């Protein structure tokens, strides 16, 4: 079971997720401190450890639009969050697969903050409301990388192949 810790709308850009002014910070070990830095309350919650790994952010269409900055994925991966959105922007989706950040596409999930979700392979069950929402598979091109545990591991395999 996973708790919805944040609910967002459409077109959440990489500037929301990881503001440009923190882009000099690049290492995946250091980026989590600036996750949603302009949303002071949520940022403080994350940093205080109040959000348990596997918690869910629910968003609308086009999550992660904007820049190619990988910090937007690594900052969320740092807390092991799961992003469930109606849709994702291409580069963000690709960065997530590469870094092992879990993303789920569900066009019809209805959920509020505090709801408990069960994430199945082909559906999401909202245990709080009883809704069973559909899941659209990720673009198949990314699957080999996800299966390898991320792009570093995948590229290493290919290098040695």
Partner 1 sequence: MTIVQKILARATGQSSVAVGDIVEPRVDLAMSHENAALVINQFREIYKGTGREPIVWDPERIAIIFDHRVPAESSKTATNQKRIREFVAAQGIGKFHDMRGDQGGICHQILPENGYVRPGQVVVGTDSHTTSHGALGAFAFGIGATEMAAVWALGCVFNVEVPATMKVVVRGVLPEGVAPKDIILNLIGRVSAEGANFKVIEFHGDAIRSMDTSGRLTICNMAVEAGATSGIVPADEETVRYLREVAGVTGELDVVTPDPDAAYSEVVEIDASSLVPQIACPHTVDHVKAITDVAGTRVDQVVIGSCTNGRLDDLAVAARLVKGHRLASHVRMLVFPASWRIYKEAMQRGYLSDLIDAGATVMNPGCGCCLGVHQGALGDGEVALSTTNRNFKGRMGNPTAEVYLCSPAVAAASAITGVITDPRG
Residues of the shown chain interacting with partner 1 in the complex, contacts defined by CB under 8 A: 11, 13, 15-16, 19-21, 23-27, 38, 61-62, 65-71, 73, 87, 89-91, 94-95, 98-99, 139-142, 144-145, 150-152, 154-156, 158-160
Structure tokens belonging to residue 20: 């440009």
Nearer to partner 1, 1 or 27 (CB): 27
Nearer to partner 1, 13 or 128 (CB): 13
| Shortest distance in whole angstroms from residue 97 CB to partner 1 | 9
Closest among 90, 65, 69, 83 to 25, alpha carbons compared: 69
Contact status, residue 23 vs residue 75, Cβ threshold 8 Å: no
Nearer to partner 1, 19 or 54 (CB): 19
| Shortest distance in whole angstroms from residue 149 CB to partner 1 | 13
| Shortest distance in whole angstroms from residue 13 CB to partner 1 | 4
Nearer to partner 1, 127 or 158 (CB): 158
| Exposed e or buried b per residue across 97-136, where buried means at least 16 C-beta atoms within 10 angstroms of its C-beta | bbbbbbbbbbeebebeeebebebeeeebbbeeeeeebebe
| 3 state DSSP class of 7 | strand
| Shortest distance in whole angstroms from residue 94 CB to partner 1 | 6
């Amino acid at each position: 079971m996973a708790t919805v810790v944040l609910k967002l709308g459409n077109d959440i850009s990489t500037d929301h997720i990881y503001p440009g002014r923190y882009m000099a910070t690049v290492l995946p070990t250091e980026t989590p401190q600036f996750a949603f830095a302009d949303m002071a309350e949520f940022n403080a919650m994350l940093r205080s450890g109040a959000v348990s790994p596997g918690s869910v952010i629910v968003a609308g269409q086009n999550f992660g639009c904007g820049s190619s900055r990988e910090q937007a994925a690594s900052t969320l991966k740092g807390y092991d969050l799961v992003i469930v959105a109606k849709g994702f922007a291409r580069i963000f989706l690709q960065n997530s697969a590469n870094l092992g950040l879990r993303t789920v596409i569900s066009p019809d999930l209805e959920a509020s903050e505090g709801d408990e979700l069960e994430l199945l392979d082909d559906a999401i069950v909202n245990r709080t409301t009883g809704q069973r929402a559909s899941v659209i598979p990720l673009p198949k091109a990314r699957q080999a990388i996800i299966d390898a545990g991320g792009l570093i591991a995948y590229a290493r395999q290919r290098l040695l192949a």
